Chain A
């Protein structure tokens, strides 16, 4: 309960600071928008086209592997906390778990998935 209260108040306080600063700055700063000023910045050239075009992302396969390892990290946290009590049993269990993931990583390497395309 205390945890939730503190997190909520820190969330609200953290949001209030930038929002408040922006609102205060609105009172202090001038505002004279004109067409050339509010146009998109492209290093001084006349901007052309939309920015939201389709282009090749290049790291789609990385993102899939990332998901797997991110979940692995979640499983490792509770294991690491009680590791000293688990002893040999815990070590062997996690060794098997990590080995399976390492095999997956090696497979991805061999299939040349982890290369910038």
Chain B
């Protein structure tokens, strides 16, 4: 089979997965929120635990009116959801789901992921500027502040893992961990920095200043409705999956199973959804920080910690 047919089949599988995973996570978030706040959550649609709520949500997104604000900048506003969604789908190319289940095992996998992930900010800014709405613009400006505080610790936290494994290929990192044990044992500090920076990257509480329902009424996507709003939600929730999968790949052995059993896609998914659950749990447990507190945390604590981790890892590897 020619390469391009394989690539098209893979992107179709990825898009189907994004659709199902996005709907599932929106339902799961509401269900977990209900559980934490001692209520039931969605329970009416579908017998087991309101499971068909996710299909009802999808149908609703497609059939709701798509209102275009008159003051908006038409083309910038139109393409913002597309620019926000595309990098998330592209990130799936290098996620190692199983021993042979991967889009493409690139030797620059991690640089590719970092490059693609930082592209999403452009979509946020297009939405904020194009909407011509005060809340949206403030949300987009906050997104910029958040990005410059958290991208550096996020990238530097992965450097320690790269030093140990000696490769940028995601599959190579997992294979190293199959042979030598999980990276979390030697890179715990890096994982803590990575996880905090990851929450900021995903705009999740306690760092959801960009969305901030109670002060900015959804921030940069205030003016979006119907399916466009749905696209933003899909991209956000898929991004949670992507970053959790990256954390599992870097620190928790990817598809490798803990007791030396055969690794598989199932084990990878279980680990990833465990981290997704942790992120949802944090959202419904802690309050939001202020923007200057967030930047102080990023620049005065996480950045020095991640630099220290690099030097420390270097020393350990020398000895």
- Which residues in A have some Cβ–Cβ distance to B below 8 Å? 2-3, 5-7, 9-11, 13-15, 17-19, 21-22, 24-26, 28-33, 35, 37-43, 47, 50-52, 57-59, 62-63, 65-66, 69-70, 73, 76-77, 80-84, 87-88, 91, 94-95, 98, 101-102, 105, 109, 114-116
Interface string of B185-225 (1 = CB under 8 A from A): 00000000000000000000000000000000100001100
> Which residues of A lie under 8 Å from residue B90 when comparing CB positions?
7, 10-11, 14
The residues of A that contact B112 with a CB separation of less than 8 Å are 7
CB distance from B210 to the nearest CB of A (A): 14
Known contacts A10-B103, A14-B85, A114-B300; is-contact A51 B68 (Cβ 8 Å): no
Task: Report yes or no: A18 in contact with B103, Cβ–Cβ below 8 A.
Answer: no
Give complex CA distance A28, B230 in Å: 15
Chain B residues in 8 Å Cβ range of A38: 67-70
Q: What are 7 A-B interface contacts by the 8 Å CB criterion?
A: A3-B104, A38-B67, A59-B295, A66-B148, A73-B155, A77-B162, A83-B166
Known: A6-B93, A102-B307. A114 touches B299 (CB 8 A): yes
Is B32 interfacial (CB 8 A cutoff)? no
The answer to whether A40 and B133 touch across the interface, beta carbons within 8 angstroms, is yes
Report the separation of the CA atoms of residues A69 and B136 in the bound assembly, to the nearest whole angstrom: 28
| Partner-binding segment picked from B9-17, B240-248, B250-258, B273-281 | B9-17
B148 touches A87 (CB 8 A): no
The CA of A63 and the CA of B70, in the complex, are separated in Å by 33
Shortest Cβ distance from B172 into chain A, in angstroms? 10
Which residue from B64, B166, B311 sits with its C-beta under 8 Å from A29? B64
State whether A14 touches B89 (Cβ < 8 A).
Answer: yes
Across the interface, name the chain A residue whose C-beta is closest to B6.
A6
Docked CA distance A48–B318 (Å): 63
Q: Mark B1-25, 1 if CB is under 8 A from A, else 0.
A: 0011001101110110010000000
The residue that B152 contacts in the complex, of A3, A21, A33, A70, with Cβ under 8 A, is A70
B186 to chain A, nearest CB (A): 14
- B interface list, Cβ under 8 A from A: 3-4, 7-8, 10-12, 14-15, 18, 61-71, 81-82, 85-90, 92-93, 103-104, 106, 110-112, 129, 131-137, 141, 144-145, 148-149, 151-152, 155-156, 159-160, 162-163, 166-168, 217, 222-223, 226-228, 230-231, 291-292, 295-296, 299-300, 303-304, 307, 310-311, 314-315, 317-318
Shortest Cβ distance from A57 into chain B, in angstroms?
A: 7
Chain A residue with minimal CB distance to B166? Answer: A84
**B314 engages A94 (CB within 8 Å):** yes
Residues of A within 8 A of B92 (CB): 10
Q: Are A40 and B71 in contact (CB under 8 A)?
A: yes
Cβ-closest chain B residue relative to A67: B148
Give the one of A50, A80, A87 with max B CB within 10 A: A80
Which residues of A are found within 8 Å of B145, using beta-carbon distances?
58-59, 62
Given A62-B148, A95-B311; A26-B103 close (CB under 8 Å): no
Residues B82 and A52 in contact, CB atoms below 8 Å apart: no
- Chain B residues contacting A22 (CB-CB under 8 Å) are 66, 81, 227-228, 231
Q: Which residues in A have their C-beta under 8 angstroms from that of B135?
A: 41-42
**Residue of chain A at shortest CB distance from B315:** A91
Whether B133 and A52, one on each chain, are in contact in the complex, defined by CB atoms closer than 8 angstroms, is no
The residues of B that contact A81 with a CB separation of less than 8 Å are 162, 166-168
